[in-house]
Structure 1
Amino acid sequence: MTNTRQLRIEIRQRRREISPHEQRIHSRDAARTFHSSPLFRQCQHLAVYLANDGELNPEPLAEKALSAGKKLYLPVLRPNTHKSLWFAPYAPGDKLISNRFGIPEPDIRKKKTVLPWALDLIIMPLVAFDTQGNRLGIGGGYYDRTLNYLRLRKQWFRPRLAGFAHERQKVQSLPSNPWDIPIHYAITESMVYKF
C-alpha cells in the first residue's frame, strides 16, 4: 500500500487535472444527487466548505439547501487553539476574511459561532475516501480534532459527516489511525455512499 503522503500527492494531482467544465458538471450532479437523497431531507443545519485545489465545489449544493430553507455554516479556524474548528452561519455574498492559511472564512467578530454538535450534517472536503468510510484529508487534522468526541459515542451521533468528492477520489482501502474520524456518507457526482 502506498503511504498516505504519496497517495495525497497522486490523488490531488488527479483532482487538479479535471477541467473547469467537468468540475462544474460534477458539482451540479453531486448537488442533484444529494438533493434527491433522504439525507438532504433529514438535515436542517449543515456546514459546507469553500472549494480549493480542485476540490468538488459545494456551491450548487449550498444553493439547493438555501432554497429549501436550510441553514448553512462554514468552518472557521479557532483562534489561538489546538488546530480545531468552529462553525459560523453563512450565506452566499457574506463578507469573508482570510484566515492564517489564506482561506476565506466568516468574520467571527461579527457572527456567533456554533460547535459541531449543533449541526445536523457536515459536508467535508477530502483527498480520498474508501469503501469503509475512511477519509483522507489534506493532513492538518482539523476535522479529526474537532470531531474527536464522536469516537466516544455509542449512540446519538451528531452531526452526521459526509465527504464531498469526485468519484475518481474513491479508493479501495485507506490506512486508518486511531484518531481518524470516519465519514458516514460520501457524496459524488454518481451517488451517495452510506457507510
Structure 2
Amino acid sequence: MIRQRRNALSPVAQQQAAQGLALQFTQHLALFDTPQTDKLAMQHVAIYLTHEGEIDTAPLIAALQAAGKTLYLPVLHPFAPGFLIFQRYEPNTPMRQNRFGIAEPMLNCHEIKPVAELDSIFTPLVAFDLQGQRLGMGGGFYDRTLAQLPANHRCAIIGLAHDCQLVDTVPNEPWDHPLSAILTPSRLYTFKR
C-alpha cells in the first residue's frame, strides 16, 4: 500500500519532493557538519541512486557535492551474496547496471570504503515510523550490511523518504537496524540511539 502511495505521486510532485529533500538537507547543514561526537556529523557519505519510485536523490547528491562531502554508492558485494560494499562516486565514475537493474559503480577495489569508516549512510525505505524504524525493500541488503557495524559505531544511518511513507508502526525484527534520522521533503526527524 505504501509503495502504491509513493508510486502514485505525479512527476511534478516527485520533482518537488526531490527538491524539498535537498532543501531540508541544506537547511540542516550545520547539524550535519557538527563535530564528530555528534552522530549526524559527516564527511564520508554513502547514498544511493533512485530506483522504482524512491524519492529522487539527484538533487540531494548535488547538495552533498556542493557541501564538499565525499560520496559513496552501494555495490552488490561480488563475493558475499546479500551484502553491499560502498565505492567512491564522482560524476565521471564509470557505471553499470547490476542484476536488479540499478546503476552502480563498476567495481574498483581502490575506491571501496569499509562500512565502519563511513560517517553517514543514506538508506532507501518503503515506510518509516516515528520510532526510527524502517521497512526496507525486502531484500535485507542494508540490514545485513549494517549489522557489520561495531556496537559503538559513530555512523549515522539516515532514511530518505516521501512524507507519505510515514506510518503508525513498522514491524520490528531483531535484525532490523534502527535509524539515526529520517529526512523527508518537509522535515528532519532525529532519534537518540
TM-score relative to the length of structure 1: 0.89
**Which residue, out of 1, 13, 23, partners 1:22?**
13
Counterpart in the other structure of 2:43: 44
Counterpart in the other structure of 1:66: 65
* Cα displacement (A) at 1:111: 4.8
Amino acid at match of 1:85: L
Deviation string for 1:133-172 (max 9, x for gaps)? 110000000000001134x61x3x3311000000000111
Percent identity reads: 44
Counterpart in the other structure of 2:176: 180
CA distance, structure 2, for counterparts of residue 98 and residue 77 of structure 1: 11
- Map 1:1-195 → 2, pairs under 5 A: 10-37=1-28, 38-41=30-33, 42-109=41-108, 111-150=110-149, 153=151, 155=152, 157-195=153-191
Cα pair distance change 1:128/1:81, threshold 3 Å: same
Q: Is the 8 A contact 1:89 1:111 kept in 2?
A: no
Deviation string for 1:35-68 (max 9, x for gaps)? 2214432311111101111101111111111112
TM-score relative to the length of structure 2: 0.90
Amino acid at match of 1:182: P
CA distance, structure 2, for counterparts of residue 119 and residue 101 of structure 1: 24
Where does the alignment leave 5 or more consecutive residues of structure 2 unmatched? 34-40
Counterpart in the other structure of 1:3: none
CA distance, structure 2, for counterparts of residue 14 and residue 25 of structure 1: 16
Matched residues, number:
183
Where does the alignment leave 5 or more consecutive residues of structure 1 unmatched? 1-9
Counterpart in the other structure of 1:6: none
CA distance, structure 1, for counterparts of residue 114 and residue 74 of structure 2: 10
Amino acid at match of 1:169: Q
Q: Is the 8 A contact 2:87 2:108 kept in 1?
A: no
RMSD, aligned CA: 1.4
